[in-house]
Chains A and B, each alone.
Chain A
């Protein structure tokens, strides 16, 4: 009796182990920073009534309807219901703007709309209005797969972003890849190094006690390695975002995410 029980449990154990190994081999090795957050932070992100990023989303919803500029037009006047028209939009940015003749991120597109359609001044970069509107637009893609456009005009900029990602810089001489590629999952002092997928921007960062863009986050890393940060809106950030979004292709949009 005993040997057969032992044998059966060994057998089931072996089956379980091989199943786990098979799963590990087929599983996507990419991880959103969400998976490595505390349960409390995960719960905060999941619950819209607890997620402080939702304040920006609600503010963005008001801005969507606000009639502005010399033409007194709102976003809604052209795009109507954002829940329909903006669904999936953020998952495709940065994209190529013919008006700008170059790649633009979502915030850049919002400002282009203001200038060319609403005849209104652009919002200051990283200001509360632009963060709010992009959080509102971004939220309409929540749960959808990141889907960078298949646009050959973007390719040189994406490659520029990849080169920047791998370029060592600053007094401490680190590239993005040195940490987020080669040492993701390890600890820089007390902080787990994430793989650096931009799945939830703009997001509420506990360290900031506020909402911020991917550019703000990239700026933080540049300052950390003692490099000269690029100015907000710089083409280098757009190029990096293009590369990071292509690297995160297929991962789910989390906007507005929470991060430590």
Chain B
């Protein structure tokens, strides 16, 4: 079984912005440990997912959000995400989906490098904070019913 350890801890060579990200370890296709060391809050995670300025998820994904009009259909239905993936797998797919699928269009929600021409207001900031990533992971884990 192929397992590898990937640590983002090169703080001495990284630009200052990178230092804002917390270190995490990728094991297989997952990040098993919470980015914050704490479990996320599913209710807050739901709010992030449905927020079109923050999580942006529903621009591309559809999901079990009856109150939300205009959900996208570019990406898989979020229903059943918590059955398809475990916690660590969901975390890696949020942090940096390109680690699983190099050609994915899903933005890396917790990555600052390998980006081009990032707009001034967004420079040096991940799309979501470590806390928000954990909240979304906690919420997605509750989506057990497949469409």
Contacts and interface: CB of A to CB of B under 8 A. Distances in A.
Interface of A: 167-174, 178-179, 182-183, 186-191, 193, 222-223, 226-229
B47 to A, nearest CB: 17
Contacts, number: 70
Candidate in B70, B73, B115 with the most chain A CB atoms within 10 angstroms: B115
B122 interface: yes
Nearest to B58: A189
B115 A173 contact: yes
A168 B127 contact: no
B127 A171 contact: yes
Main secondary structure of the interface of B (DSSP, over half): loop
A189 B70 contact: yes
Contacts of B107: 171-174
B99 interface: no
A236 B50 CA distance: 34
A114 B101 CA distance: 52
A236 to B, nearest CB: 10
B15 interface: no
Interface residues of B, number: 24
Given A178-B105, A186-B73, A187-B74, A167 B122 contact: no
Contacts of A171: 107, 115, 118-119, 122, 125, 127
B120 interface: yes
A226 B122 contact: yes
Contacts of B52: 189
Interface string B124-135: 010100000000
A191 B60 CA distance: 11
Given A186-B73, A187-B73, A189-B72, A170 B108 contact: no
Given A186-B73, A187-B72, A190-B70, A167 B116 contact: yes
B59 interface: yes
The interface centre, meaning the residue of B56, B70, B71, B118 with most chain A CB atoms within 10 A of its CB, is B118
